[in-house]
Amino acid sequence: MGNMVDLRSDTVTKPTAAMRDAMCQAEVGDDVYGEDPTVNRLERVAAELLGKEASVFVPSGTMANQIALLTHTQRGDEVFIHRDNHIYFYEGGGAAMWSQATFTELAGDEGLMTPEELSDRIRPRNIHHPRPRLLSLENTHNRAGGAALSRSRLMPLVEVAREHGLAVHLDGARIANAAVALHVSIASLTADMDSVSMCFSKGLGAPVGSVLAGPKDYIDQARVYRKWLGGGMRQAGILAAAGLYAIEHHIDRLEEDHVRAARLAEQLRRAGYQVDQPSVPTNMVMVNLDRDATEVIQHLAAQGVLVSAMGPRRLRLVTHLDVTDADIDRTLLEFSQLKG
Ligand code: TLP
């Protein structure tokens, strides 16, 4: 899509020349035999980055999350989750097929339920109730506008989970954005979680690839489920090299995406648009419209600016590696012309 400004998602980034070079040079082997040195290195580096014993490389964030649920739960077990979490909202009901867990959905601001609500929903052990097993969190929170959730905001929920013997999974598809926005280490945001998924194919700019990290025995079991789901790849070092390159070169620069998103939000507000986040913490801008989102999306697309719908009258604009300051200016121009 040459000449287009593509703000639909940070998943649309194309690998840079340097990243392609790293992929090209990657030493490879058969990863199903555990013999791909680059995959093995990425799994060690990612585990360390996330402060866990081990990690497993998978093709997508969705697969990382679905394997996480499979590994934590037995059929029918109860998973407590915010209704706007990706696992609940955007994974096609996959959990009904794979883990067959029961979801108990909760609501609340910024992708978080309150500790009281969570505690009230956890029922006593009784033959009538599913076994309460897992709390599933998300950081940054996509549908909550890329909210970066600090450890102190997550901790009270983790404590309730622990009191009731629940494990905790974090969908950390964009955990690097959260760490950069909060000026803390990634590991400090994942320390209290049993398992964490993280994506290289979003703001970090890799073409493919995610990891699931956790204790060694948990990851050993997760590898079995990855094979079940057909996620055991062969000379995957070519892809893992992109992940390693992303970790080394594309984490600190996320700050640039956040600065661009903040400017975009501020100027959209000045142009009379309703941006519904109090401040824009990371790389997402949510715009509430007074008309149908599809119409606006089509109009902007015809002018070369791509954005996505987050609801019938709500847009999402995402900054990333391939969005420049000039692209932001062009987007603002199109939005102000639309208004006028
Ligand atoms: N999110 C995509 C769409 O699916 C909505 C996007 O454009 O933002 N966790 C979170 C928090 C995500 O935002 C996503 C992708 C995933 C998991 C799934 O990752 P993939 O697409 O690699 O399966």
Report whether pLDDT(1) > 80.
Answer: no
- Tens digit of pLDDT for each residue in 62-98? 999 999 999 999 999 999 999 999 999 999 999 999 9
- Tens digit of pLDDT for each residue in 117-133? 999 999 998 999 999 99
Among 67, 199, 210, 257, say which to mutate for ligand 1: greatest number of ligand atoms within 8 Å of CB. Answer: 199
Q: What domains lie within the chain, and their CATH numbers?
A: 5-12+253-339 (3.90.1150.10), 17-249 (3.40.640.10)
User: Which residue, judged by its Cα, is nearest atom 3 of ligand 1?
Assistant: 90
- Tens digit of pLDDT for each residue in 193-241? 999 999 999 999 999 999 999 999 999 999 999 999 999 999 999 999 9
Residue 109 CB neighbour total at 10 angstroms = 11
- Predicted TM-score (pTM) above 0.85: yes
Give residue 68 CA to ligand 1 midpoint distance, Å: 15
pLDDT at position 340, please?
Answer: 67
Q: What is the overall mean pLDDT for the chain?
A: 97
Does any ligand 1 atom lie closer than 6 A to the CB of residue 171? Answer: yes
Residue 127's φ and ψ, nearest 5 degrees, are -60, -20
Contact 144, 178 (CB under 8 A): no
Taking Cα atoms as reference points, which of 304, 284, 308, 305 lies closest to residue 294?
308
- Residue type at position 94: G
Give residue 11 CA to ligand 1 midpoint distance, Å: 8
CA–CA distances in Å: residue 204 to residues 15, 90, 173, 284, 335: 10, 21, 10, 14, 27
Does any ligand 1 atom lie closer than 6 A to the CB of residue 199? Answer: yes
- 68 half-sphere exposure, CB direction, 13 A CA radius: 34
Measured CA to CA, the distance from residue 150 to residue 250 in angstroms comes to 21
pLDDT at position 105, please?
Answer: 97
Are β-strands 195-199 and 5-6 bridged in parallel, bridged antiparallel, or unpaired?
unpaired
